[in-house]
Amino acid sequence: MSRPIRATISASALRHNYAVAKRAAPRSKVFAVVKANAYGHGLERAFAALKGDADGFGILELEGAVRMRQWGCRQPVLLLEGFFQENELPVISEHDFATVVHCDEQLRMLETAKPRALDIYFKVNTGMNRLGFPAAKAKAALERLRTSGVAKSITLMTHFAVSELPDGVDDAMKALENVAQSTDYPRSLANSAAIFAHPKTHANVARLGISLYGATPFADRSARDLGVMPAMTLSAQIIAIQDLKAGDTVGYGRTFRSEGPMRLGVVACGYADGYPRHAPSGTPVMVEGVITKTAGRVSMDMITVDLTPVPQARVGSSVELWGERLPIDDVATSAGTVGYELMCGLASRVPVLEG
């Protein structure tokens, strides 16, 4: 490795975070959500870390689900958006995947193809207004599914829009109960926020996403508050130092102007590595274990940081962009985004090491 940047992924942190969620929802199965290449952490790496612990896995990509079976996955694997074409159904049957069914088109494909009976997660739209049968039409669709003969099992499922709020699941739960009345189907309701904030949603199967990777879904509760640990640390080094005088500007657009003499560190990390280009001056960064801040615009391959709080910094000094000591949520908040995006945006050119 010549360019001094790397991401370190901690298998022990993934296992720790999964165990934290299991303790929070002790009577539920907890599926580890590994969509989007395990939120940028690497699907194979995440599976290897969790294969001995996870009750099941949730994923979007059929190809990734098949690879997990090839790697020896024996747990349930749930396709979170279901299938997109009828010709995917034989593959789903062959590998014994569970599938979400969220719309009339999917239901019609099942009725036409008549695949070997599948484990179906019947998704109800309770206010997110993305996927799911509208609550007013869900009862009839559920009855169609029940009588179709294609369901080996049926689990009712929904996804909460604002489960991070104290009352954020109440309306959705009422809508679901209206659909579920007079049935005893198992349920899959809770996402990361609901696992930690709304025990009444834990039900039969909870789906652990962002907190599996050590970030928080809450604005007012940190990852540390939840007891989860960062699984990804993005680190680099100082590759140059500039001494500025009062009035000197930094970077494209000259958006940062020095108010007085300062030392500026140039870090081998930019938006082509996955660092957010829209991160403003003042975004936190850690140099030699000391929190400082960025100065100027993020470039493709570099960011520049204020070394005033780190007088000992030199070329070759260690820099943590986010991770073990600098929470990814702090960086995301400064950049006006969420930790999910930063994790998923890690570029392929960044070497990944096992932590």
**What's the pTM value of the predicted model, to 2 decimals?**
0.95
pLDDT of the residue at 1: 57
pLDDT digits (tens, 9 = 90+) for 278-314: 999 999 999 999 999 999 999 999 999 999 999 999 9
- Annotation says 35 is catalytic: yes
22, 29, 35, 123: the active-site residue: 35
The per-residue pLDDT for 355 is 83
Residues 159 and 305: their CA atoms lie apart, in Å, by 40
The residue ranges of DSSP E strands in 42-200, in sequence order, are 56-59, 77-79, 98-101, 118-125, 133-134, 151-157, 187-188
Specify the pLDDT at position 92: 98
Residues facing residue 285 across a β-bridge: 292
pLDDT of residue 115: 87
Do 197 and 166 meet the contact criterion of CB atoms below 8 Å apart? Answer: yes
Angle at which helices 135-148 and 170-180 pack, to 10 degrees?
40
- Packing angle of the helix pair 43-50, 11-24 (nearest 10 deg): 60
Q: Yes or no: say if 64 and 38 are a contact pair by the CB < 8 Å rule.
A: no
Give the residues of the chain that fall short of pLDDT 70. Answer: 1
Q: Is 252 a catalytic residue?
A: yes
Pick from 229, 193, 215, 205: nearest CA to 14: 229
Query: What's the length of the chain?
Result: 355
List, in order of start, the domains of the chain with CATH numbers: 10-215 (3.20.20.10), 232-354 (2.40.37.10)
